[in-house]
Amino acid sequence: MSDFTHFNEQGRARMVDISAKQETERTATAVSSIQLTEEIYEKINAGTMKKGDVLAVAQVAGIMAAKNTSDWIPMCHPLQLKGTDITFDWNIADGCYELMITASVKTKGSTGVEMEALTAASAAALTVYDMCKAIDKGMVIGQTYLITKTGGKSGEYHRDIEGD
């Protein structure tokens, strides 16, 4: 069991000791998406959803989720984040309406912020669903994945995206 970083000598879960790791600037960017109807798209953009400004609430939810990732993911370390940003872009093609959600997180510390970025993007997508479900419960939350990561011993990661 000693080859597994998140298990102790008894084979039980543990949080990895990062006290000896060097503090560096660390960033991560993740993406999620949600497919929705034209009606929802129009109401979001017109600001006429009954629950309020969908993107503003989703943005705050994503930021709050990033700050509380260690409460959701058992082996994550609580981190003091230095910055979190959520942006939204629309992909509209062939009658499909997809909201792309990008979450960027930054800290200076001993461990990375990949999970915080992924959690932020996911929470923002879930919030959009929650605020729009009265109109359509058939919305689809899409793939969620890491785009980039910088800092730390493992170095940089940049996802190879087709067409880029």
Residue type, 27: T
Annotation says 160 is catalytic: no
pLDDT above 90: percentage of residues in the chain: 76
pLDDT above 70: percentage of residues in the chain: 96
What is the pLDDT, as a whole number, of residue 32? 98
What is the pLDDT, as a whole number, of residue 163? 53
Q: What is the DSSP letter of 58?
A: H
What is the pLDDT, as a whole number, of residue 27? 96
What is the pLDDT, as a whole number, of residue 161? 77
Please give the C-alpha separations between residue 115 and each of 9, 17, 30, 83, 121, in angstroms, as whole numbers: 26, 17, 9, 14, 10
What is the pLDDT, as a whole number, of residue 8? 80
What is the pLDDT, as a whole number, of residue 41? 98
Given 17, 130, 160, 164, which residue is catalytic? Answer: 130
pTM summary value: 0.90
Cβ pair 145, 30 in contact under 8 A: yes
Mutual angle of helices 114-132 and 54-67, in 10-degree steps: 150
Residue type, 73: I
Q: Is the pLDDT of residue 4 over 50?
A: yes
Q: Is the pLDDT of residue 162 over 70?
A: no
